[in-house]
Structure 1
């Protein structure tokens, strides 16, 4: 196996790790959205149970506080998860570019010097890299399934648009 083939396996491995990271980020986002929904349900139940003991103004202020908390929490969740997605995207791009550059330099080195040591090393390490790449792909698939379960979706793509209690309320208003 040549350095070029090893670089292809390395890029596949990097992509699998990138997808795994994105799946974890999606699970974090979906879990956070689920927390807001549960918090709102709990809050609404508590408000119903204590409504008779509260003045109209206090109930109004409590509801406004709940809405503000939910909005800021969701905004923070969105900003942090979007930022994490961008970081992962950039890291994957940089790592893939690095692998491509190293492969190009290795080929150029072997062509200029006539020494094939790097190609021999690539051939020796390729089976291990291929096995690691396959394992990373399996891990990526499992994290996609996990993220899907956390989100309550049957879909395993990272581009699913989820609706939150906050966005539903905003649309209704």
Structure 2
């Protein structure tokens, strides 16, 4: 038994638990809608039974108000169950991706290290994984029967739950991709900003260095000029002294 088959069994178990959770949520939803329908029927029956005491307008107003309240309740019920199913889809999606990632990393490590330990691990783990898969399937079947009984009508329970779970998983994957894209975009913007800042700092530093170099050149030029002027003046003074000495010597 390969590690791929073992990871597939784990993914199937996760999927089965996800469908079971979706069935439980559908049980709450369909049960609430059915109970509300029974209540609306009983309310309309009571109102119509007292037709002699109530006018037609009053009966119509009472019925309309009750239906309006029932509509608000149904909307809240569906909104809550949709959010719960979305949470289940996110959990199943993350768990499935985690199993795939662990399996691929384990295979890569086993091959690179040449341990050949996965076959032994598979032989040890597959019986427990198969037992857990059977338990998950029985739970899924039981939850499906519960949905049928509560809804009061024949319906392809597993197909409905699978469709809703897959829709939630796709929504979760789309949200995850969007979040990843936003994070990548923000990181890219921060990197571009850092690069631009670094360029500005480099430009400012280069300008300062150029300014220092220019100043140093000016100072060197001034010093050279001063030294040259001083040397010229010294030479002229020396010639004058020598000339005076020569004149004094001739006079003597």
**Bin of the TM-score, shorter chain as denominator length:** 0.7 to 0.9
**Superimposed CA distance per residue, residues 141-168 of structure 1 (whole angstroms, 9 cap, x where no aligned partner):** 22112212221222233439xxxxxxxx
Q: What are the within-5 Å matches in structure 2 for residues 5-16 of structure 1?
A: 5-16=5-16
**Superimposed CA distance per residue, residues 54-111 of structure 1 (whole angstroms, 9 cap, x where no aligned partner):** 3555434322220111111111121122222222222211111110000001011112
**Aligned match of 1:112:** 112
**Aligned match of 1:159:** 160
Whether contact under 8 Å (2:48, 2:59) holds in the other structure is no
**Superimposed CA distance per residue, residues 12-58 of structure 1 (whole angstroms, 9 cap, x where no aligned partner):** 10111111111112211211111111110111122123333335554
Length-normalised TM-score, structure 2? 0.58
**Aligned match of 1:46:** 46
**Aligned match of 1:170:** none
Length-normalised TM-score, structure 1? 0.82
Stretch moving more, 59-68 or 3-12: 59-68
**Aligned match of 1:88:** 88
Whether contact under 8 Å (1:10, 1:99) holds in the other structure is yes
Q: Structure 1, unaligned stretches of length 5 or more? A: 161-173
What is the rounded CA distance, in whole Å, between the counterparts of 1:8 and 1:114 in structure 2?
A: 23
What is the rounded CA distance, in whole Å, between the counterparts of 2:120 and 2:88 in structure 1?
A: 32
Q: Report the CA distance between 1:132 and its aligned residue.
A: 0.9
Q: Which has the higher contact order (CA 8 A, sep 6+)?
A: 1
Q: How many residues align?
A: 160
What is the rounded CA distance, in whole Å, between the counterparts of 1:107 and 1:159 in structure 2?
A: 35
Between structures 1 and 2, the one with greater helix share: 2
Please identify the structure whose Cα radius of gyration is greater.
2
What is the rounded CA distance, in whole Å, between the counterparts of 2:120 and 2:129 in structure 1?
A: 14
Q: Report the CA distance between 1:115 and its aligned residue.
A: 2.5
What is the rounded CA distance, in whole Å, between the counterparts of 2:98 and 2:122 in structure 1?
A: 16
CA separation of 1:156 and 1:142: change in aligned 2, threshold 3 A: farther
Whether contact under 8 Å (1:26, 1:81) holds in the other structure is yes
Q: What are the within-5 Å matches in structure 2 for residues 59-138 of structure 1?
A: 59-138=59-138
